[in-house]
Amino acid sequence: MSRSTLLAACLAAIVMTGCQPASEGASAPAASADPATVSSTGAAQGVRVSDAWIRETPPNAAVAGGYLTLRSDADDRLVAVETSASASVEIHEMSHAGGVMRMRELPDGVELPAGTDVSLRPGGNHLMFIGPVEPVRAGQTIEATLRFQNAPEQTVQFEVRPLTGDAPAAEGHSGH
Ligand SMILES: [Cu+2]
């Protein structure tokens, strides 16, 4: 599958499963990675993961959207996600420009400012599970490993929620 086809399928999946109205002009992502400074705080760094879920997909769906909330004790970055449940996982950004919804891969992952809840959620940044090896059905859990720039990797159980189910209560996009 070509890359553009893939992104189209990805976008279609998101739209089909109901793009949540973007609550506000989502906070501008600080897109530029800054590898210049490496914090040398020897303190143990941890990332707390909560509300990890994947939306159930129709049969034969090419992709499934994954969501979660991350909170890191120290400045960090979610750089990759791996699972045996799909061919690959990409970290995607969603933007609405001039009424057009666009999606692109975030090659440097998602920034995790210290002490701040960072939510990947419908209509915003999300994980794209590409090429699920089996249909993704509600009630299942899917295990995936999160890799961070600094913190140790972490294995997380994503709960599959029904297509028709309510989106989780919108957690306030606070913490700026
Ligand atoms: Cu996507």
Mean predicted confidence (pLDDT) in 13-36: 45
The CA 164 to ligand 1 mean position distance, Å, reads 19
pTM over 0.95: no
Burial of 121 (0-12, 13-18, 19+ CB in 10 A): buried
Distance 79 CA to ligand 1 centre (A): 16
Label residue 176 by pLDDT band (50, 70, 90). very low
What is the DSSP code string of 61-104?
-SEEEEEEEEEESSSEEEEEEE-SSEEEEEEEEEEEETTEEEEE
Instruction: Quote the pLDDT of residue 90.
Output: 98
Q: How far is the CA of 78 from the centre of ligand 1 (A)?
A: 16
Question: How much distance in Å is there from the Cα of 102 to the middle of ligand 1?
Answer: 9
Average pLDDT of the chain is 80
